[in-house]
């Protein structure tokens, strides 16, 4: 019996992975990672096993936007999940040869349903915290290299992400100084 359900998204190679969660009056239990199961999932969708080399953990208060980040060279695939609270997580296709180049897909990740979002190399990634506090953990397929850290401004008009801020009760976003100065998509990639 499979421990994970896989949901395909409208953008090729972006998948949502839903673990089987066992709940009772004491709380819950789930397997967040199982090498054998994930080898099968990744082999099916990508024709290869995926090797993760680093785990990251961030905490954000409501309204914090992190991203849109990517790394080039040394692109990182990311397996993202909210271990506490709730986020609206976004991936932007930066693969020039892709029919969805410059398009995004967003999904709510929360500690309620424990969904995970796999974002392979070739995508920018970002999220907004939509609960009072959100802890996000993600595995990466390559190490972080500060000298190759790149990004696109979160509210880029070309990508035109609907962050649903009003729906989530967010009046003002909170950005790091670095993220507030990220370039526009067209300035990095040209027009779509």
- List the 4-8 sheet strands across, edge first: 4-8, 15-19, 116-119, 78-84, 133-140, 54-61
Distance CA 30, CA 21 (A): 5
Report, as residue numbers or ranges, the catalytic residues: 69, 138
Q: What angle do CA 134, 144, 192 make, to 5 degrees?
A: 85
- List the 149-151 sheet strands across, edge first: 104-110, 86-93, 123-129, 65-71, 149-151
Task: Give the 3-state secondary structure of residue 148.
Answer: helix
């Amino acid at each position: 019996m499979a421990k994970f359900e896989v949901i395909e998204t409208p953008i090729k190679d972006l998948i949502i992975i839903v673990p089987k969660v066992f709940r009772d009056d004491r709380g819950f239990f789930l397997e967040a990672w199982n090498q054998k199961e994930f080898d099968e999932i990744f082999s099916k969708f990508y024709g290869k096993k995926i090797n993760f080399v680093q785990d990251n953990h961030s905490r954000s208060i409501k309204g914090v936007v992190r991203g849109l980040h990517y790394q080039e060279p040394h692109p990182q695939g990311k397996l993202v999940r909210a271990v506490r609270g709730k986020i609206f997580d976004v991936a932007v296709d930066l693969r020039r040869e892709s029919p969805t180049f410059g398009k995004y897909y967003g999904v709510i990740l929360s500690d309620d349903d424990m969904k995970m979002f796999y974002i392979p190399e070739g995508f920018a990634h970002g999220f907004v915290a939509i609960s009072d506090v959100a802890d996000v953990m993600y595995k990466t397929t390559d190490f972080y290299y500060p000298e190759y850290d790149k990004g696109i401004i979160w509210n880029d008009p070309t990508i035109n992400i609907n962050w649903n801020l009003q729906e989530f009760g967010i009046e003002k976003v909170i950005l790091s100084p670095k993220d507030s100065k990220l370039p526009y998509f067209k300035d990095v990639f040209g027009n779509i």
